[in-house]
Amino acid sequence: MNYQTFICVLLVFVIFTGCSHKGKLRGLVPCCGTVTLDGTVVADAQVLFLPVQESLRVASGKTNAQGQFVLSSLTTNDGIMPGEYCVTIIRIEKTGTVRKPVINEFGESVMPPPETRNVLPERYADKTTSDIKVTVPASGDKNIKIELSQ
Instruction: Give me the number of domains the chain comprises.
Output: 1
Q: What mean pLDDT is predicted for residues 121-126? A: 97
The domain that holds 104 is classified in CATH as: 2.60.40.10
The predicted-structure confidence for 48-87, as pLDDT tens digits, reads as follows: 999 998 889 999 999 999 999 999 999 999 999 999 999 9
- Banded pLDDT at 97 (limits 50, 70, 90): confident
- For residue 42, give Cα distances in angstroms to 31, 67, 88, 134, 150: 18, 5, 14, 18, 13
Q: What range defines the domain where residue 63 resides?
A: 3-148
Distance CA 85, CA 57 (A): 10
Residue spans of beta strands (DSSP E) within 17-111: 31-37, 40-41, 46-51, 59-62, 68-70, 83-90, 92-94, 102-103, 109-110
Distance CA 74, CA 33 (A): 19
Bridge partners, 69 (sequence order): 33
Q: Global pTM?
A: 0.76
DSSP conformational letter for 96: -
The predicted-structure confidence for 41-58, as pLDDT tens digits, reads as follows: 999 999 999 999 888 999
At 86 the pLDDT is 97
3-state secondary structure of 86: strand
